[in-house]
Structure 1
């Protein structure tokens, strides 16, 4: 009887030990779930913040509409209009971008003027993003140089790699895109990798901003500010681990 009781006790302890550690194995899945929820909240906040504000490039005196500027605040909400978007990533200090700006305006005027034509089913909006300022968006698209051009049709993204010209971009936006392989969704701007890159960039920018606030606005020394950030990050990490452990610790069934 004593041996049987000992065996039962060992089995119960082993089961408890396995259950107590089971939440650790679930942590990666929970982290991914929290990341997806965070992305959804971020995108929803972007849409709310920009509700009713989409600079559609109001027509000028000649009735033509120019390039539409996009930022992180209005990017997702603007692209939900159901149209195709031709997007340029540029930088103010880029000489190639500056020289091509007037040509890109002509591309926008022509493609936007097609919207009013009867029988046109493929409407292409022409936009630009300051990739140097909007680093989170540049990270989502994995931009490596300026200027870079992408054609976004829903969640399908294609990168333009031809010669930069008015005719080349227009032809690519209307028909030439069919000969270009789309960016894989997993690594694309709307897939998990693109969203993770954007989230990391935003987090990094937030941490840098907090560091600058501590050193400049509050007058902390750099070493002290870094220590505060490290201690704060460690505290948040420990609290998160405790919360995950409590939330996912299975209860022992009564026998």
Structure 2
């Protein structure tokens, strides 16, 4: 599957409608972005990554989206699983590191994360052992 250009209009729907979505925030003038692009594209076409959406956000064309995503350095790679941001890191990754991130996202158990999110949404603090006071 080739990469998909994401815009402010398509970003949220893409993240929510797909199990795993990787997003590369980039700009055409950025040297590390140009270096990372073929690595990202190759991963998007790998048979090992079937069913994963590989999105790209041009930070120049989509400045409001980049700002909303708190992008301060490019390239930045984000990974979403089940609509939840589970990874975000600036910098160009080599092929092996990118594939490692993808495998970790694939194998991530979302149940504890969803439980914590539900508890926080209900106004409760995350379950932690009570601390002892001296």
Aligned positions, number = 108
| Alignment partner, residue 168 of structure 1 | 97
For residues 162 and 93 of structure 1, the distance between their equivalents in structure 2, rounded to whole angstroms, comes to 15
For residues 77 and 128 of structure 1, the distance between their equivalents in structure 2, rounded to whole angstroms, comes to 14
Answer whether contact 2:18 2:53 (CA < 8 A) is retained.
Answer: no
For residues 70 and 49 of structure 2, the distance between their equivalents in structure 1, rounded to whole angstroms, comes to 30
Answer whether contact 1:88 1:147 (CA < 8 A) is retained.
Answer: yes
Answer whether contact 1:150 1:159 (CA < 8 A) is retained.
Answer: yes
Deviation at 1:114, TM superposition (A): 3.8
Q: From 2, 14, 22, give the equivalent of 1:78.
A: 14
Q: Residues 192-224 of structure 1, C-alpha deviation per residue, up to 9 Å, x if partnerless?
A: xxxxxxxxxxxxxxxxxxxxxxxxxxxxxxxxx
Q: From 39, 63, 67, give the equivalent of 1:135.
A: 63
RMSD: 2.5
State yes or no: 1:68 paired with 2:30.
Answer: no
Q: From 65, 75, 91, give the equivalent of 2:27.
A: 91
Relative contact order, higher structure (CA 8 A, sep 6+): 2
Greater share of residues in helix: 1
Distance 1:105 1:158, change over 3 A: same
For residues 66 and 82 of structure 1, the distance between their equivalents in structure 2, rounded to whole angstroms, comes to 15
Deviation at 1:157, TM superposition (A): 3.4
User: What's the TM-score once normalised by structure 1's chain length?
Assistant: 0.38
Q: Residues 28-65 of structure 1, C-alpha deviation per residue, up to 9 Å, x if partnerless?
A: xxxxxxxxxxxxxxxxxxxxxxxxxxxxxxxxxxxxx2
Q: Secondary structure at the match of 1:128?
A: strand
Larger radius of gyration: 1
Distance 1:102 1:170, change over 3 A: same
| Alignment partner, residue 228 of structure 1 | none
Q: Residues 78-113 of structure 1, C-alpha deviation per residue, up to 9 Å, x if partnerless?
A: 2222321111000111011112211111011116x6
| Alignment partner, residue 126 of structure 1 | 54
| Alignment partner, residue 44 of structure 2 | 108
State yes or no: 1:155 paired with 2:58.
Answer: no
Runs of 4+ in 1 over 4 A off after TM superposition: none
For residues 139 and 106 of structure 1, the distance between their equivalents in structure 2, rounded to whole angstroms, comes to 27
Distance 1:73 1:163, change over 3 A: closer
Deviation at 1:161, TM superposition (A): 5.6
Distance 1:163 1:102, change over 3 A: closer
